[in-house]
Chain A
Amino acid sequence: MSATSTTSGAPVLELRDIVKEYEGNRVLKGVSLSVKGGEIHALVGENGAGKSTLMNILFGMPVIQDTGGYGGDVLLGGAPVRFTNPAQAMEAGLGMVHQEFMLLPGFRVAENIKLNREPSKPNPLSRLLGRGLERVDVATMRRDARRALDRVGLDIDEWLPVAGLPVGHMQFIEIAREVDKERLRLIIFDEPTAVLAESEAERLLESMRAFAASGVAVLFITHRLDEVKAIADSMTILRDGEVAGRPDPKATSVVRVAELMVGRPAGAAMGRRGAELGSEPALSIERLNVRMPGEPVQDVSLTVRRGEILGIGGLAGHGKLGIANGIMGLFPATGAVSLFGEAFPLNDAREALTRGLAFVSEDRRGVGLLGEESIELNIALSALEAHGRFLHPFPIPAFRTLDAKGMRAHAREMIERLDIRTTGPVQQVRRLSGGNQQKVCLARAMALRPRILFVNEPTRGIDIGAKERVLEILVKLNREDGVTLIVTSSELAELRSLCDRILLVYRGRVAAVLPPDAPDAAFGLAMAGEEVAAAAAAGPGSSA
C-alpha cells in the first residue's frame, strides 16, 4: 500500500491559513493542510463547507480573482505559489479529475487526453508567428494516448469520439489525461466515484493507489466515508470553512467522522412535544421520487403531523433538499401525496401555493428573490399570484390592478415584525445582507398565510445574530400561528434544537427518524448509511 515509508521530505502541497470571502461572507476561515508525495489525503466535508472554493483557489480559477482574491499561502514543494489561471497551475504540476467531466464530446479520446498539450511539429510559419501554427503530430498524439489508456486499464480505441461513451469510460479518460502529464506532482480527485458502478469504483481506487505509488501526492475529495477508510493515509474534515479535525482514517470510526462533519449540538433543545401534537396527518407522502440534479430523491415515504416541526437532515447530495423542491413542483417528481386527507397533485407549483403550502428555497438568489425589485414587491408577489392578495377588486381577475398602498403597508408591517434592516420598503432586495434577504423570503412565504411551510437551509450564509432571529421567527410561526413546519438543513445542531422529530436521508431514501435528543452516534450512523440499532435510537441516556 502507499505506506508512509514512501513519503519523504517536504510536503508536495501545503496550504496555510487560507481565507476567502465572497461579498462579505467568509467561506474559508483559515484552512491549513498538507499532503506529501505518495500520500493519499482525503478531504471530507458538506457542500458549502468550502471544498470547491479551496480547489478553485488551488487551480487559479478566474472566479477567485474576480471576487477579491484570497488570503493565506499556497506552497508547492516548499515554494510559495499564487496561480491566476489554470494554465499556470498545470504547468506547475497540478492535475485534476473533475466531478463533472471536463471532456469535449466532439473530440476523439486521444484529442481529449492531449487537450492543449498536443505534440506538434514546427514549420517556417510557426517559427515566425508562434507555436500556435505548429502542425499537430497526430501519430505521436495517438501513441501517447494509447500508452496512457493502457496505464489506467481502459481498453478502447483512442480514436473514438468521446460522445456516446459510457460514463465509466469518461471518468477513466479524465484519469488517463492526468496520467499522461509528465511533471505531475499533485493530483486532485473531486468526488470521482459518485457516478461509477461498484467495480468501476474499485478500479478507480486502484488507479489512485498507482499514482501514489509513483510518488505523486493525491488529494481525494469525497463524501463516501467507507472509501476514505479503505484508501486514505490521512484526512482533513472541513466544516463551515474551518478544519474540524484531522483524524487518522485507519483508527477512527465512520460514526466519529460523521459526527465531526456535522458538528456537535449546541444550545438547549426546544423540546419534544409528543403529547401536545395531534396525530392528524397534515401531509402524507408515499414513495416520493424527485429528479433534482445534485439532490435526487429515490424513494421517500413520510407523514407530517399537523402542528409539528419536522426536520430533514442528511449529507449533501443525498436528497434532503429534493423533498421540498419536489413537493412544491420545482423539479419533476412522482409519488402519491395527500394534503389533510385530500389527494395532492405533484408537479404543479401553482396548485401547491393555492392549497396552502409555502416554500423558502435554499437557492435564495436564484429562486427566492427578484434581486432588482423592491422589498415590498418581493414580499407580495407569491401571495399576489396565488391568492390575488394586494389587488383592487375588479370584475375581470386578470386586470385587477395593484393595491400599492396595501402592498406597502404590509411590507412595512413585515419589516417591523421580522426586524429587517433596510432603508425602506422600496429598497432593492439585492442590496440587503444575506440575513435580511432571508427574512424577506420568509415574509414572502408568510404573506401566503400557509398551513404548511417548507424551509430549506434556513440559516445558510447568515451571520450569527440573524440566524437566531430567523429560527425565532420560525418557532413563533409554529407555536402562535399553528403553521406546520418542515425544515431541511445541513446543520444538525440547528435541527436538533428546533424540531420535534428529525428524518435522516441517505442516498435518496429514509435512513432513520430520530428524536432530537437521540445520541450523536445514532445521527452519525444514519447519515453514513449504517444501521441504527434500536437501542441507540431509544432516548436520552445512551451515549456513543
Chain B
Amino acid sequence: MKHLSRHAVPILFAALCLFGIIAAKITPAFLLSEMLVRVGRNSVLVLSLLIPILAGLGLNFGIVIGAMAGQVAAILIVHWGGHGILGFAEAWLIATPVAIVFGLATGWLFNRAKGREMVTGLIAGFFANGAYQLVFLFAIGSIIPFHNPGMVLPQGYGLRNTVDLTTIQYAVDDLIPAHIRMEGSELRVPIASFVVVVIFCLATLAFFRTRLGQQLRAMGQDPHVAAIAGIPVERNRVIATVLSTVLAAWGQLLFLQNIGTLNTYNSHEQVGMFAIAALLVSGATVSKATVGQAILGTVLFHTLFVVSPLAGKALAGDAQIGEFFRVFVAYAVITVALVLHAWQAARVEREAAKL
C-alpha cells in the first residue's frame, strides 16, 4: 500500500493515458512510432532539469534560455550552409559557449534572488524571449549584417517565421539508420539519438557520484550546513545553472534536428513548461528527481500529449477539447507539485519555530 501511495502520480497518469488510448482506439503501431520519435528528441531537455533540482534551485524555468542558445546555433549553421552530421556538430560547437554565457547570467540572477529562483527563472525566460525577438526580428539584417534572402523577411531585416532545417534534419537520428515494419508502415528508429540519451543518463548518474555532485546534493538539503562545511554555495549554484542551460541547449538541438523546421519565434516558448510538466508527471518533486523519473515522465507525458486530442475527438467530437485538456493537465501537474513543495516547506518552518 505504501508503494502505491508513493507512486500515485505516475500510476494515475498511466491510467489516464490508457483510458485515452482505448477511447480513441489508438493502434500500437501509431503509438510506438510517436513514442520513438518523441522520447528521442525530448529526453535530454527533461534531463537538463535534474541538476538544479539536486542543488536546491528548484525547477529551472530558465531552461528556455538554454533552448534559445541552441536555436541561435541552428540558425547560424543553416545560414552558413551546414550539412548533415557535420553541420550538426558545428551547431553543437557554437551552441555550447553561448549556452555557457547564458547560464552564467541566469546563475547570477538566481544568486540575487535567493528563495525566489523559480519565479525569477520564469520571468528571466520571458525577458530573454524579448531580447531574442529584438535580435532576430529587428537587429538581424539591419544592425547585424546578415545577407540571406531565403531566411530574411522581404523588408530586409528580421528572420522569417520558419527556418527550414532539412539540411541537418535527422542528422543524429539517422546516424545509425534503422527501420522496423509494423502493420504495414515503416517506422524510423533513431538509434543514435537513443544512444545519445542513454549517454546523458549515464553521465548524469556518474556526475552525482563526483565530489561536485556530492557538494550540490549537500546544498540541496541544507545550504547553511553546506556553507559551514566550506562548500562554495554561491559558486556552485552558478555551476549548476550553467550545466542545466548547456544541457538544455543540446537538448533543443536534438529536438530541432528531428522536427526539421525551426519556428523562429515559438519553438522555445513552451519548452520549459512541457519539460517540467513531463518530469513532474513521473512523481518527481521540486526537491527530488532521478534519471529514471526523467525518462518515465517523458514517456508518460508525451503519450498523453499525443492521445489527448484524439480522445477528445472520439469522446466529445472536438479535438480542440483534447488540446485544451493536455495543456490543462500540464499546468495542473506543475501547480500541484509547487503547492505540495511549498506546503511541506511551510510546515517544516512552522514546526521549527515551535520546536
Contacts and interface: CB of A to CB of B under 8 A. Distances in A.
Contacts of A291: 354-355
A17 interface: no
A90 interface: yes
A242 interface: no
Nearest to A163: B221
B145 interface: no
Interface stretch (A104-112, A353-361, A431-439, A446-454): A104-112
Interface residues of B, number: 25
Give chain A's interface residue range (CB within 8 Å of chain B). Answer: 20 to 34
Given A104-B222, A135-B206, A136-B210, A90 B230 contact: yes
A111 B353 contact: no
B210 A116 contact: no
A104 B226 CA distance: 9
A135 B209 contact: yes
Contacts of A106: 217, 221
A132 B212 contact: yes
A210 interface: no
A138 to B, nearest CB: 8
A136 B209 contact: yes
Contacts of A90: 230
Query: Majority SS of interface residues in chain A?
Result: loop
B223 to A, nearest CB: 11
Interface in A77-99: 85-87, 90, 98
Given A86-B229, A90-B230, A116-B229, A293 B212 contact: no
Contact of A105 (B206, B217, B221, B227): B221
Interface string B200-230: 0000001101111111011001101111111
B231 interface: yes
A115 interface: yes
Contacts of A120: 210-211
B227 A86 contact: yes
Contacts of B354: 291, 293, 331-332
B214 A293 contact: no
- Taking each of B213, B215, B229, which has the highest tally of chain A beta carbons within 10 Å of its own beta carbon? B229
B328 to A, nearest CB: 34
Contacts of B232: 87
Contact of A116 (B207, B215, B355): B215
Contacts of A118: 211, 214
Given A86-B229, A132-B212, A107 B355 contact: no
A86 B226 CA distance: 10
Contact of B217 (A98, A102, A107): A107
Contacts of B217: 106-107
Contacts of A62: 227
Given A86-B227, A86-B228, A293-B355, A134 B221 contact: no
Interface of A: 62, 85-87, 90, 98, 102-107, 111, 115-116, 118, 120, 126, 131-136, 291, 293, 331-332
12 contacts: A85-B230, A86-B228, A86-B230, A104-B222, A105-B221, A107-B217, A116-B218, A120-B211, A134-B211, A291-B355, A293-B354, A332-B354
Which 7 pairs of residues, A with B, have the shortest CB-CB distance? A87-B230, A132-B212, A293-B355, A116-B229, A115-B229, A104-B221, A102-B225
